Structure 1
Amino acid sequence: MPSSSPHTIRLRGPWKLTPLEIADAQPITGRIDQPSDQFLADYQGPILYVRHFNRPTGLGPAERVELAIIACVGTAHVSLNETPLANLTAQQAPVRIDITDQLQLSNQLAIEIIPPALPSPAGITGEVQLEIHSG
């Protein structure tokens, strides 16, 4: 019998954030706190979020893993292990993407957020999580 609710793994941190319009910007390591991320609060422009995570253990053949992005400000370009997965706008959130077939033992998730207009803030403002669904 399929599970009614997925097992959830929250990807709160550590993330590396890079402001893309600052020359030679170094990534800032931090945690995405809810309901919004404040550790680049003064920056207004595109930003790149990068986080590494391992493949969830014990996945059965009938289970699937979805990447869920609950809320963001701006347009998000999402890639996993340097393979583009989706482009979404804040109006489309929450979004869920089946990543089961793309998972490797070690994974790199990259989310580039482009603000709706410049200058204005952009960023992830809700949970980013892995949801494991049974058959």
Structure 2
Amino acid sequence: MYPHRIRLRGPWECEPMAPAGVEAPPPRRVVMPSRWADAGLTGFVGDACFVRPFGYPGRADPGTEHIWLTCDGSTGRFRVILNQTLLSEETAPAFAFDVTPLMTQRNRLEIHVHGDSDAAGLWGEVALEIRRAAFLADVTVARDGSAFVLTGRAVGVAPHPLELYTLVDRRHVDYREIMPTPAGQPFRIELVDLPADARAIRMELINLSTVWYVVEVPIS
């Protein structure tokens, strides 16, 4: 069942870099997730370079599996570099990159963060995800009167339409087929008559007998 998730928690090397004429805090080791305050950088305005070496993830097969680098939440402008290749240079609350072609037996991840408040940093989980050729993205649930509406995209490629199951607290409530596309095939699913005490929605993207992707969304 996919995705296989490998958390890159720590230790990370952290090197603060202050503007010219300002003394920077000394380098340190931190454990992710971490905001500025968690890393002992309270009140610091400037850049910090977070470095994490890691090995090739187990027996991931580049012929059938894809390795993604993900971060669930960040604050501040950042630059992401893997094995000296720039992946992104922007401001975004989260990121995900297919890094399969860049992976070696020994890897070096650098994330440069510019922060101007104690909320800056990588406060979401940084991880590797082993995925198949298609997956679910941007899955959200919203209340629409007495119903709940699920939206999202099926991203990637597949040899034929995949099965998409929706479960609420382990009970099947919807089934359909969907053909992923590289840009993401959108879907919209309306769920009615859910139990008042329903807690979580689970979606499974299945190719034949293999679960290609699972995502769970809490009901609030």
> TM-score range, shorter-chain basis?
0.7 to 0.9
CA deviation profile, 1:38-66 (whole Å, cap 9, x unmatched): 02241332111100000112112110000
CA deviation profile, 1:52-82 (whole Å, cap 9, x unmatched): 0001121121100000011111011000011
Q: Secondary structure at the match of 2:46?
A: coil
2:105: which partner in 1? Answer: 105
CA distance, structure 1, for counterparts of residue 83 and residue 27 of structure 2: 18
State percent identity of aligned pairs. Answer: 31
Larger displacement relative to structure 2 (9-18 or 121-130): 121-130
On the 8 A contact 2:33/2:122 being kept in 1, the answer is: no
1:14: which partner in 2? Answer: 11
Cα deviation, residue 12, structure 1: 0.6
CA distance, structure 2, for counterparts of residue 102 and residue 120 of structure 1: 33
User: How much is the aligned-residue C-alpha RMSD, in angstroms?
Assistant: 2.0
- Larger relative contact order (Cα-Cα within 8 Å, sequence gap ≥ 6): 1
CA distance, structure 2, for counterparts of residue 64 and residue 132 of structure 1: 6
Q: Secondary structure at the match of 2:58?
A: coil
CA distance, structure 2, for counterparts of residue 44 and residue 62 of structure 1: 44
1:87: which partner in 2? Answer: 89
Question: Normalising by structure 1, what TM-score?
Answer: 0.82
Which of the two has greater strand per residue?
A: 2
CA distance, structure 1, for counterparts of residue 121 and residue 103 of structure 2: 24
Q: Structure 1 segments of 4 or more deviating over 2 A? A: 22-27, 119-122
Question: Normalising by structure 2, what TM-score?
Answer: 0.52
CA distance, structure 2, for counterparts of residue 33 and residue 130 of structure 1: 14
Match of 2:77 among 75, 78, 86: 75
Q: Secondary structure at the match of 1:101?
A: helix
Tell me which amino acid in the other structure corresponds to 2:127.
Answer: Q
Structure 1 residue runs of 5 or longer lacking an equivalent are none
